[in-house]
Structure 1
Amino acid sequence: MLEHDIWWQVYPLGALGAPIRGDHGAPAHRLRDLDAWLDYVVELGCNGILLNPIFESVSHGYDTLDHYKIDGRLGDDADFDHLIAECRARGLQVILDGVFNHVARTHPMVTEQPGLVAFDGGRPRAWEGHDSLVELDHANPLVVDLVADIMLHWLRRGISGWRLDVAYAVPAAFWRDVTATVRGEFPEAIFIGEVIHGDYARFIEESTLTTLTQYELWKGIWSSLKEENLWELAHAIVRHNDFCRGFTPQTFIGNHDVTRIATLVGPELARIAVYILMSLPGVPSVYYGDEQGFAGTKREQSGGDDEVRPALPATPAEFSRLGAATYADYRGAIAFRRRHPWLAGAEVEVLHKDNLCLLYRVTAGDRWCEVRVDLAHPSISVVADDEATGTR
């Protein structure tokens, strides 16, 4: 089902310049500003947009106030319907970010319907020490019904699926029950669980989600390039291959929660990283701006996400020419993946490994490609049964 999917992930509140903290100002129709980026997404080679939170919230979008309402900083229902229509006209699917582990402490479920949230010692339970966020009571059948209803509401409005925020913090059985209801009406709906570590295969089996975020591979890619230790990447690839026997992981080298790949490894190695990503099994995503070499550091402090969630220019034409080389490599790597969709469900074998050189082979039936990463003279070559590409 995911064989042809490559998603462009964007954090709308940041990318469209909405105020995150303090006074939000008057409602604005910023969601329509994404129109200027849809052709760009297609030209990059992606066929879907993964939107981080767009629902009414207190600040950053993960402190939801109303799952049925578009955030006033982004627009309204008409703006959303317009976006869906424009995406459909270009063959782009849309996936929304569903925050169903917790809600804002000022959400009506906390203040008016406390039976839907979890309690500790007579007080609504804060999520991981964040006092502004309250966990839902996932053992309550009414919460199962509520989340299924929210999902169905937006699927009926034209989306293709859901990214499930902090899915790892929610019992797998809860996701199983919710998705069973939703699939009754939308059997092809996509469910991407955010899982940082743990037993991926078991979580997929118990939750019945479509896929999970492959953080182990993300870590293996950037860390091995940064530290010139390709043994680590080889280990991550072997683990990744094991996961792929049970499901198709969601793969990435950047997202809204981590330091930018160009900051972690530098622009030259970041261009190698995208070829690694696009040559391995999985369903890959590109975080907005990474394809232009955006830099930014994730910090564990108030406002620590701001650098990795910046505003986009008004149009792609306003990008700096400094990102042109990175953009060319992203387009090349994505184009290679587009021409070889079989890579999504392939097998991987590591043929050679040392600190500075790694060779692996990806196969599916009689199709194959071999990838050579060389850190002594930083480059990557990707040779398939029918073509060759890579950085020089």
Structure 2
Amino acid sequence: MTGKQVIYQVFTRLYGNRNITRHMNGTIEENGCGKMDDFTPKVLNRWARMGITHVWYTGVIRHATRTDYSAYGIPKQHPAVVKGCAGSPYAIADYYDVDPDLATDVDHRMEEFEALLQRTHEAGLKVIIDFVPNHVARQYHSICKPANVSDLGEDDHVDRGFDPVDNNFYYCPGQAFAPCFDLYHGEATPYEEYPAKATGNDHFDNAPGRNDWYETVKLNYGVDYYAGGVLYDNPMPNTWKKMTDILLFWAAKGIDGFRCDMAEMVPAAFWSYATKAVKEQYPDIQFIGEVYNPSLYRSYISAGFDLLYDKVGMYDTMRAVITGQAATSAITSAWQQTDDIRQHMLYFLENHDEQRIASTFFAGEARRGVPAMMASMLMQQNPFMLYFGEEYGERGMDHEGFSGCDGRTTIFDYWSIDTLCRAASRKLTADEKLVYAQHEQTMQIARREKAISEGTFFDLMYVNPHLHRQYAFLRHIGHDLLLVVVNFEDHEVDVDVNLPKHAFDFLQVASGEYVATELWSKTKTNIDLQPDKAVRLQVGANGGVVMKMKVTVSENHKTMENIILNEHHKEEFPPAHTAEHLLNQTMMRIFGCERSFNAHIERKKSKMSFHLSHKPSRQEEKEIEQTMNRLIEEDLPVEFEFVDRNNLPEGVSPDRLPEDASETIRLVRIGDYDVCPCIGKHVRSTSQIGRFELLGTNWDEENKVFRVRFKVVQ
């Protein structure tokens, strides 16, 4: 997996639901429910092409709900302690089970999840699920736990408010659960709990209010909150072992990461133990923590977290800039606060807790969030998270039921998402299509440009104090320099962006006039880069520009034109020669073979030979032609990169280089599909190839050689 990490958070229950009944407080029968089967290979492959690398399936583990699944052996939950008809995905009812709402066949819900996991991986995407460590549903009871596992609370001493080792919960001995609201909710009898357990949001008496997390019970990790928060971890609390076993259970399924809900409400000492235990067996697994207190960031990273929400820093700053409550210079201050741990900070603009950008509670229009998305995605190497529907400008202004009209997409109710339904039926508005295109194009840049995923970041705001509603920075790697400017104004602007001498020295870039390609519009212009001089750019309303230049590296002062390459005597037909690159990679992916060992590429007809293990079937030959034409239609960019022959990127073998190959090698990249050393001529993008026609094939059984004859039709 290459390019920048982009996490797509999708609320699994809502994504695929196309029922537009949308009754307030509606049941699953009335309003419908999305299923795991809705995440088809077509959907997943589209996300991968868009630039998404990870999918966070929110709400997979079984949680409390008012829907009755007792016919399937699933315990019924009392509605008094369930928020909304569907229930909160953060009130876990069984850590070892899958939410039955998501299953087409409830009895086989775990198998359906495993199939979803496999489909997602086959699309080249990684899978993240929630781990909710701080609290469980009030009526938690596991029916799917392994036979040798005792249930949470099963062996508790309920006469003790706190026990540092044995108890999984906190209790109010001698007191019944008595919240300050109705406990009936239409049931024949009220909900009863004796003795009362402490509530999930650290409410340690028996009477939580309606605004508390009253549907949940706090888990005990050995912290004595009754005595001021003293931690007892020797001997190890029983909860540590049980919760680590749950992590290992899901890790064994093959997931790639856990998003850990309210991680800071669980002691860092537990995370040190648990992440070490999991990563010893699954070293590549990611832990993403919901930690809101910046003073705790570094201790939770030390405890094993790979990523932390950058909420009170970058998110809050971007929100203030979008709404005009802060100047863009505040963005600089935000990243500087976590610069020493920047690779661990997860940027985002929406999630299930935050209001939608397009809601009347936030910006009112999705386009106003676009420059913040562009900056967040492109300004550093660290990952970005996108919330489903954000890419269409979903407003979140529905009156769903328990959630109410609050600018958020409900996590408590059965519902369907307006923009997703209309996107599926191709009924998006022109503005929604534009917002989608801006998101997709930005993710493509983040995926394709190494300067974004691996390069150096240089903030330009300190020499541009006149920019109050624009944000400017550089990204650099090798000979690639990107000048990025985003505009938070509702109108087009002409801006002068100053480039300090320090930027040239720090990035080791030589001054001079360069041809710059604007990566969103693909337009080209000449830019004169000079120390302490300004570059004038026109930036659209609520948009941005990314000017890409191939620059001279000042360390050796060689221009790209002066780089010494091997002599090249062939005069290729660029469309056919580019098709050769595509066909090589297509054959490698379909048959697992090496690149062609004998090729004759001509304008009218070309031939290429491959060593294969078997004679391709007619279906496989058809797949070759279909794949080639699909790649051509995708209009993948064809770009060049100059590297030292001793520093070839992963996947590029030096074995095929000629013995007298120059020290500097030119690589040809076709999107993120193929990269190969080559000094020939190529088209600028695959749509210029034309149509690929397979003219015929030959099979040499004795030598296991497959010869392909083709032409490209302009």
Q: Give 1:15's aligned residue.
A: 15
Q: Give 2:168's aligned residue.
A: 117
Task: Give, as a single letter, the amino acid of the residue that structure 1 aligns with 2:331.
Answer: L
In structure 2, do the counterparts of structure 1 residues 364 and 170 end up closer, same or farther at CA, with 3 Å as the change threshold?
farther
Q: Give 2:379's aligned residue.
A: 280
Task: Answer with 148-157 or 250-259: which moved more.
Answer: 148-157
In structure 2, do the counterparts of structure 1 residues 158 and 295 end up closer, same or farther at CA, with 3 Å as the change threshold?
same
Task: Give me the identity figure in percent.
Answer: 21
CA–CA distance in 1 between the matches of 2:369 and 2:438? 10
Q: How does 1:268-307 map to 2 (within 5 A)?
A: 268-281=367-380, 282-296=382-396, 302-304=402-404, 307=408
| 2:221 aligned to which of 113, 118, 138 | 138
Q: Give 1:358's aligned residue.
A: 471
Q: Is the 8 A contact 2:3 2:448 kept in 1?
A: no
CA–CA distance in 2 between the matches of 1:279 and 1:29? 33
In structure 2, do the counterparts of structure 1 residues 106 and 339 end up closer, same or farther at CA, with 3 Å as the change threshold?
same
CA–CA distance in 2 between the matches of 1:370 and 1:153? 46
State the secondary structure of the residue aligned to 1:255. coil
Task: Give, as a single letter, the amino acid of the residue that structure 1 aligns with 2:295.
Answer: D
Corresponding position: 1:308 with 2:405? no
Per-residue deviation, residues 136-191 of structure 1 (Å, max 9, x unmatched): 11125322222222122222212101000011111111111101110110011100
Task: Answer with 338-347 or 99-108: which moved more.
Answer: 338-347
In structure 2, do the counterparts of structure 1 residues 205 and 30 end up closer, same or farther at CA, with 3 Å as the change threshold?
closer
Per-residue deviation, residues 188-226 of structure 1 (Å, max 9, x unmatched): 110000112322542334322111011121121122021
TM-score, reference length from structure 2: 0.49
Task: Give, as a single letter, the amino acid of the residue that structure 2 aligns with 1:80.
Answer: F
Q: How does 1:1-392 map to 2 (within 5 A)?
A: 4-17=4-17, 30-35=35-40, 37-58=43-64, 59-75=87-103, 76-108=109-141, 112-114=154-156, 115-122=166-173, 123-128=196-201, 129-139=212-222, 141-199=237-295, 201-215=297-311, 216-227=313-324, 229-244=327-342, 247-263=343-359, 264-265=362-363, 266-281=365-380, 282-296=382-396, 302-304=402-404, 307-309=408-410, 311-312=416-417, 313=420, 316-322=423-429, 323-344=432-453, 346-351=456-461, 352-353=464-465, 354-363=467-476, 368-376=481-489, 377=492, 378=541, 379-386=543-550
Q: Work out the number of aligned pairs and report it.
A: 384
State the secondary structure of the residue aligned to 2:350. coil
Task: Give, as a single letter, the amino acid of the residue that structure 2 aligns with 1:286.
Answer: L
State the secondary structure of the residue aligned to 1:261. coil
State the secondary structure of the residue aligned to 1:262. coil
More helix by share: 1
Task: Give, as a single letter, the amino acid of the residue that structure 2 aligns with 1:239.
Answer: Q
State the secondary structure of the residue aligned to 2:114. helix
CA–CA distance in 2 between the matches of 1:356 and 1:106? 51
Q: How far is 1:292 from its partner?
A: 0.9
CA–CA distance in 2 between the matches of 1:385 and 1:248? 29
Q: How far is 1:362 from its partner?
A: 3.8
In structure 2, do the counterparts of structure 1 residues 343 and 314 end up closer, same or farther at CA, with 3 Å as the change threshold?
same
CA–CA distance in 2 between the matches of 1:319 and 1:153? 40
Q: How far is 1:45 from its partner?
A: 1.5
CA–CA distance in 2 between the matches of 1:227 and 1:102? 38
State the secondary structure of the residue aligned to 1:380. strand
In structure 2, do the counterparts of structure 1 residues 341 and 10 end up closer, same or farther at CA, with 3 Å as the change threshold?
farther
CA–CA distance in 1 between the matches of 2:284 and 2:451? 20
Task: Give, as a single letter, the amino acid of the residue that structure 2 aligns with 1:77.
Answer: M
Task: Answer with 64-73 or 204-213: which moved more.
Answer: 204-213
Q: How far is 1:233 from its partner?
A: 2.3
In structure 2, do the counterparts of structure 1 residues 113 and 16 end up closer, same or farther at CA, with 3 Å as the change threshold?
farther
Q: Is the 8 A contact 2:289 2:308 kept in 1?
A: yes
Q: Give 1:390's aligned residue.
A: none
Task: Answer with 104-113 or 275-284: which moved more.
Answer: 104-113
CA–CA distance in 2 between the matches of 1:342 and 1:298? 40
CA–CA distance in 2 between the matches of 1:211 and 1:294? 26
* Cα RMSD (Å): 3.1
Q: Give 2:538's aligned residue.
A: none
State the secondary structure of the residue aligned to 1:178. helix
Task: Give, as a single letter, the amino acid of the residue that structure 2 aligns with 1:185.
Answer: Q
In structure 2, do the counterparts of structure 1 residues 302 and 196 end up closer, same or farther at CA, with 3 Å as the change threshold?
farther
State the secondary structure of the residue aligned to 2:214. strand
In structure 2, do the counterparts of structure 1 residues 314 and 259 end up closer, same or farther at CA, with 3 Å as the change threshold?
closer
Task: Give, as a single letter, the amino acid of the residue that structure 2 aligns with 1:231.
Answer: S
CA–CA distance in 1 between the matches of 2:379 and 2:426? 29
Unpaired runs of at least 5, structure 1? 388-392
Q: Is the 8 A contact 2:297 2:308 kept in 1?
A: no
Q: How far is 1:327 from its partner?
A: 0.9
Task: Answer with 334-343 or 57-66: which moved more.
Answer: 334-343
In structure 2, do the counterparts of structure 1 residues 201 and 64 end up closer, same or farther at CA, with 3 Å as the change threshold?
closer
Q: Is the 8 A contact 2:328 2:471 kept in 1?
A: yes
Task: Answer with 234-243 or 78-87: which moved more.
Answer: 234-243
Task: Answer with 149-158 or 64-73: which moved more.
Answer: 149-158
Per-residue deviation, residues 95-152 of structure 1 (Å, max 9, x unmatched): 1011111100111356644454331543422122322111111125322222222122
CA–CA distance in 2 between the matches of 1:306 and 1:157? 35
Q: Is the 8 A contact 2:288 2:308 kept in 1?
A: yes
Unpaired runs of at least 5, structure 2? 65-86, 104-108, 142-150, 157-165, 174-195, 202-211, 223-235, 493-540, 552-714
Q: Is the 8 A contact 1:252 1:286 kept in 2?
A: yes
In structure 2, do the counterparts of structure 1 residues 74 and 41 end up closer, same or farther at CA, with 3 Å as the change threshold?
same
In structure 2, do the counterparts of structure 1 residues 77 and 226 end up closer, same or farther at CA, with 3 Å as the change threshold?
same
CA–CA distance in 2 between the matches of 1:371 and 1:200? 32
In structure 2, do the counterparts of structure 1 residues 31 and 273 end up closer, same or farther at CA, with 3 Å as the change threshold?
same
Q: Is the 8 A contact 1:211 1:248 kept in 2?
A: yes
Q: How far is 1:274 from its partner?
A: 1.8
Q: Is the 8 A contact 1:200 1:243 kept in 2?
A: no
Q: Is the 8 A contact 2:10 2:56 kept in 1?
A: yes
Q: Is the 8 A contact 2:447 2:453 kept in 1?
A: no
CA–CA distance in 2 between the matches of 1:188 and 1:195? 21
Q: How far is 1:343 from its partner?
A: 3.0
Q: Is the 8 A contact 1:238 1:349 kept in 2?
A: no
Q: Is the 8 A contact 2:263 2:289 kept in 1?
A: yes
Task: Give, as a single letter, the amino acid of the residue that structure 1 aligns with 2:317.
Answer: G
In structure 2, do the counterparts of structure 1 residues 275 and 155 end up closer, same or farther at CA, with 3 Å as the change threshold?
same
